[in-house]
Amino acid sequence: MKTLAIRLDDDLHAQLSVLAQLRNSTITDEIRTAIESHLEASQHDPELGNRAKAVLDDIERDAKARQAAIATLFGTTERTGEAKPAAGRKTPKQSE
């Protein structure tokens, strides 16, 4: 569990305190409930879903580019992960 410190205006804090008292709850529990509700509502926001898809696509493109760069740099194959000598390089001889 993480600890989060937030700053609230005095008026907002007073309202939250009264709400928690009326519900026999704590301010922390009220904030946690509000955040959970906000996150749940965000999951059903189509615009946010489209943005998330775009971010995932960017991540995937970046990962493929980085994989290709590593494969080129170190002479590895992407599928098996097996190392192969880069062009013009000799593999070191094994100790006998």
Q: Are residues 32 and 13 in the same domain?
A: yes
Question: Which residue range forms the structural domain that includes residue 61?
Answer: 45-79
Tell me the per-residue pLDDT of 61-94, one tens digit each, with 9 for 90 and over: 999 999 999 999 998 765 555 545 555 555 555 5
**Domains held by the chain: number:** 2
Local confidence band at 96 (pLDDT 50, 70, 90 cut-offs) = very low
Whether 18 maps to a domain, the answer reads yes
**How many other β-carbons are positioned within 10 Å of the β-carbon of residue 84?**
13
Q: Are residues 70 and 49 in the same domain?
A: yes
Tell me the per-residue pLDDT of 14-39, one tens digit each, with 9 for 90 and over: 999 999 999 999 999 999 999 999 99
Q: Are residues 35 and 58 in the same domain?
A: no
Q: Are residues 29 and 50 in the same domain?
A: no
Output the pLDDT for position 86: 52
Model confidence, pTM: 0.61
Query: Region 51-66: what's the mean pLDDT?
Result: 96
Q: Are residues 35 and 49 in the same domain?
A: no
Q: Are residues 49 and 32 in the same domain?
A: no
